[in-house]
Amino acid sequence: MISQIDRCLRACVHSAGLLIIGILTSTSLPAAEQVVEQNVLIREGFPSAFLEYFFPQTFFLKINETPSLTLIESLLIFAGVLLAMFGLWFLQKPKAGTQSGVGFQLLNLGERKPFIPLKSEIQTLEFLTQIQTSKKYRLSANLTRVTLTPHQNTFVLEDKNYKNALLINRRRSHRTVLCDNDVLDVGEMILLFRNHVVPAGTIHRPASKDLQLPIVGIIPKGPVHKMTPILTVSGSTQKIPLVRNLITIGSSNSNDIIVEGDEVALRHAKIYKVGASWKIQNLLIQETTTVNGRRIDQRFLQDGMKLLLGILCLSLSPVKHK
């Protein structure tokens, strides 16, 4: 918009300059003088009746011997040019789209953040593959198994597959009620859920219960060293110190940390010590382990990293760096 205004102002200045130059140096046009001379020659060789019929004394836009515009005519033309330029700018001005209803908004860099309205019906996230974007994004697998169900002026998102990298507010969730400003990570596509039907803060999720994990074989018998890494369970006050060099996590009773749930494998992941550092490794290809929102096979750990194994979200602190 600023560039368009700049171009309009430059055009106005140029037009004003040409107008002033034209007024100060107004001369007769050679074409007009030639027309006058031809008119005189024609009148001398033809009858008056013939000349009056084809060459009347007054006609529309008659060219005078001194065809120069008056000051008022020049100002009128200048004003007309300004109005025409303003009209073209107004027609080309992008219209600000009004968002209404419930839908998603693209947050990826380089996108114009279009609003994607949702129909009030049961649907899957497969429609994301049809969205026109500036570049092609890799999406999560099996979006046909991620459903949106209308529920009290919002939607309930349910991931029936639960083996893709779909995150809600940087956390995996099997079933959740979408609230205004929720962020969805669907592979490389980032979506912001917008609900313009109900006021912000009206919809609340049920408070999650304090999660207590069964811990086998890693309960310290004495004081813990100050540099011992500690896993803190998200949504809970439970802390798990890593006092062993190898710790396994899964749903089987043979693991050191037992996490119940269909989305957690029998042996899901392991955390082990490598020299002075710690490393996490995903044990099954079809299962998902993420560190700071990214799927990993194995990764060295650092202070403050967020670990996600199925429904279990852990934070690590402190860790002795490599």
**For range 291-296, the mean pLDDT:** 81
Q: Where are the domains of the chain?
A: 2-92, 102-195, 230-317
Please name the helix (run of DSSP H) or strand (run of DSSP E) that holds residue 116, with its range, or none: strand 115-117
pLDDT in tens, 99-124: 567 899 888 887 876 788 898 888 99
**Distance of alpha carbon 277 from alpha carbon 301, whole angstroms:** 7
Domain at 102-195: CATH code: 2.60.200.20
pLDDT in tens, 223-260: 777 778 888 876 667 788 888 889 898 888 888 888 77
- The reported pLDDT for the residue numbered 97 is 47
- The reported pLDDT for the residue numbered 139 is 85
SS3 194: strand
**Distance of alpha carbon 234 from alpha carbon 307, whole angstroms:** 10
Top-confidence residue, 138 or 36: 138
**Distance of alpha carbon 317 from alpha carbon 309, whole angstroms:** 17
How far is residue 211 CA from its own chain's centroid?
A: 35
Q: Is the pLDDT at 88 greater than 60, yes or no?
A: yes
pTM: 0.39
Is the domain spanning 230-317 CATH 2.120.10.30? The answer is no
